[in-house]
Every structure is written in C-alpha cells, then in structure tokens.
Amino acid sequence: MGMVAPEVEWGIRHTGFGLLLPTLVIRFTSAPDGRRRGGNDGDRRLSGRRDLRMQQVGTRELEQGFGDALAAAFELAVTPAIFGFLGWLVDRQLNLFPVFTISFTLVTAGYATWKLYRSYSDRMDRAAAERRAAWQAGT
C-alpha cells in the first residue's frame, strides 16, 4: 500500500469587515494504494491556487461593491444636505427663506441622481460589451 502525501497550506483570508481569518487547506496528492488520482501534482497545485485566486477576486469585487454603494449613498444623502444648508445660509442673509434652500437641495439631488445613473449605465454597457466579446471569442 502506498503512502498518502497531503499538501498543507496555511493562509490568512481578509473578510469584507476588516477581519483576518486563518485558513487551512489540505490536499491529498495520491490515492492510498499509491496510484495518482488523475493529472499530476503540479496541475493540482496550480488548480488549487487558481481556485484561491478566483475566490480572492470574488471577495475583492464584493468589497469594491460595498465601497461603491457607500460612496453612492453618501453622495445621494449628504451632498444635497450640505448644499441645502448653504442655501439656508443664503436665504437667511436675503430673508427669502425657502427659495435657495429648496433650489440648492433639488438641483444637487438631481445632479447626484443623474451622475449615479450615468455611471451605472456606463458600467453595465462596458460589462455587456465584455460579455459579448468573450462570447464571440469562444465561438
């Protein structure tokens, strides 16, 4: 009977919340009777690393999505509030209370919404073009 040779990899995985988690991966490179299970060990090792890289890319994309969502929420909520406050200051100086407050807030909220819609549309168009190019390259 052959020897089972495990590969052990230690690592640290970053979560989306700033936590570091230890990881342990154990792979067996041969069957208990000494025969290979298919492919060679180098291919398996590369495949495992490829899987890890794909997982890291997915995690990175998820974290990037959280960051983009936070920026968009900030832009849609805080920026109009800041400009509304500035409008309130102008209104107070000119004794025209709701005019500049409302107009600054609405113009800023409208611009932020348009800008968010435009960037989302551009990203979706780019992603569709990449999928189309990948599909055409595969056929």
The DSSP line for 71-133 is HHHHHHHHHHHHHHHHHHHHHHHHT-HHHHHHHHHHHHHHHHHHHHHHHHHHHHHHHHHHHHH
pTM value?
A: 0.54
Q: What pLDDT does residue 138 have?
A: 80
What is the band of 128 on the pLDDT scale with cuts at 50, 70, 90?
A: very high
Looking at per-residue pLDDT, the higher value among 8 and 122 belongs to 122
pLDDT > 90? residue 130: yes
What is the band of 17 on the pLDDT scale with cuts at 50, 70, 90?
A: low
Looking at per-residue pLDDT, the higher value among 41 and 119 belongs to 119
Q: What pLDDT does residue 64 have?
A: 74
Q: CA nearest 26: which of 44, 50, 7, 12?
A: 7
Mean pLDDT of the chain, nearest integer: 78
Q: What pLDDT does residue 39 have?
A: 47
Whole-angstrom distance, CA of residue 77 vs CA of residue 99: 20
What is the band of 98 on the pLDDT scale with cuts at 50, 70, 90?
A: very high
* CA 95 to mean position of chain CA atoms: 47
